[in-house]
Structure 1
Amino acid sequence: MMGKIIISENVSLDGVVQDPTGEEGFSRGGWFLQMGDKDREAWAKLELYEALGATALLLGRRSDEWFATRWLSRTGEWADRLNSMPKYVVSSTLQEPVWSSSTPARGRVLKGDVVDEVAQLKQEVDGDIVVYASIQLVQLLMEHDLVDELRLTVFPVALGAGKHLFGEISAMKPLRLISTRTLGDDLVFLTYQPVRDT
């Protein structure tokens, strides 16, 4: 039994992940909202499929709060799956995950050393542990080689500024392309796995 940490992110063509919905005040935010109906429909199908295949979610505190405000009031297959899934939230201030507050004992807050906590979580949870948004957490997980797979939906826009998915990392991280597919008319879905030292 071993959990897999899956990073699932929306990124611009030049690797920016900042303010996709335009709510953070970033001057180039809102790029996620530029997709057409066909792209949105294909993206939503992919996200539902991913959610149905996941065992748990791993999030940073702000992402947990952001998703909770958007998903707890929704219904339907995708919302029901996301809302009922255990959430593990990295935070030194939360008592319990906000998104899971309506279903106590589903997941928990990881308060200790993040690297140790996530390594332990991989031992405890069998299946895909998906990380949405949570960029600081993603960068920490990449830095410490705790990521098993990256799933990137690339949007056809170059922003030229903003926070990048990987930011500053201390060493080169080789990745192997596992699959590529087009979503709708303009989105590309890429799956990578880290190349581990042999």
Structure 2
Amino acid sequence: MPRLIVTQFMTLDGVVEAPGGETTHRHSGWTMPYGTDDLVAFKLREVQEAGSLLLGRRTYEQFAEAWPPREGPFADAMNALPKTVVTSRAGELGWNATALVADRQLGGVRAAVQGLKEQEGDAPILVPGSASLVRSLLVWGLVDELRLLTYPVLVGGGVRIFPDDREKWAFELTTLDRFESGAVLHIYRLAGS
């Protein structure tokens, strides 16, 4: 069964919003000065090892606009991966994507994502960005692994992924890597998974 892996760019103050130039934050693009070769190589391996992407609708729309016109190994991997998009809007999706149809009577998004995790295969389901979706996945206990790529910058507030529901989930640190730029990768696995 595939593991569900959340991968996030994060500031020291826990913000995940606008890491790559999106217009929603006044400090947009805060990852850009830290893009060293070793960090780029890690992100390339991550998408090449994934079996699929699980995305929220806004992240899907941003990615579907950004990646198809690009070339190179990373763009090739992103464009080829099958994508599942959690959305409340009906309609066809392009870019190798399928809408997650979640019947409220059968448990909604939570049950549908659990169904994805029960499919055949070992290649992980990668969840990049998608802060609202990630908050729900954490609350539901569906995240098997958290990959937090923390950048040495504070941006004074913005969207965060951690829920404020007063639930407790124990994770175990499995990897701690420092990149040449000073960004640090923390990989945590859900305890007992």
TM-score (norm 2): 0.89
Partner residue in 2 for 1:79:
75
Q: 2-side partners of 1:26 and 1:137: how far apart?
A: 19
| RMSD of aligned Cα (Å) | 1.7
Letter in 2 for 1:118: V
Q: Deviations over 1:115-139 (max 9, x none)?
A: 0110011112522000010000000
Write out aligned runs for 1:110-125 (5 A): 110-112=100-102, 113-125=108-120
Change (3 A) 1:125 1:83: farther
Q: 1-side partners of 2:165 and 2:13: how far apart?
A: 17
Runs of 5+ unmatched residues, structure 2 = 103-107
Partner residue in 2 for 1:88:
84
Query: How many residues get paired?
Result: 187
Q: 1-side partners of 2:68 and 2:120: how far apart?
A: 23
Partner residue in 1 for 2:105:
none
Tell me which of 28, 40, 47 is aligned to 2:43.
47
Q: Which runs of 4+ in 1 moved over 6 A?
A: none
Residues 21-30 or 8-17, more deviating: 21-30
Q: 2-side partners of 1:46 and 1:138: how far apart?
A: 21
Tell me which of 40, 48, 61 is aligned to 1:65.
61
Tell me which of 162, 171, 175 is aligned to 1:175.
171
Partner residue in 2 for 1:24:
23
Identity %: 34
TM-score (norm 1): 0.87
Letter in 2 for 1:195: A
Runs of 5+ unmatched residues, structure 1 = 101-106
Shift of 1:196: 4.4
Q: Deviations over 1:1-41 (max 9, x none)?
A: x1210001000012111122342332333312232xxx432
Letter in 2 for 1:16: V
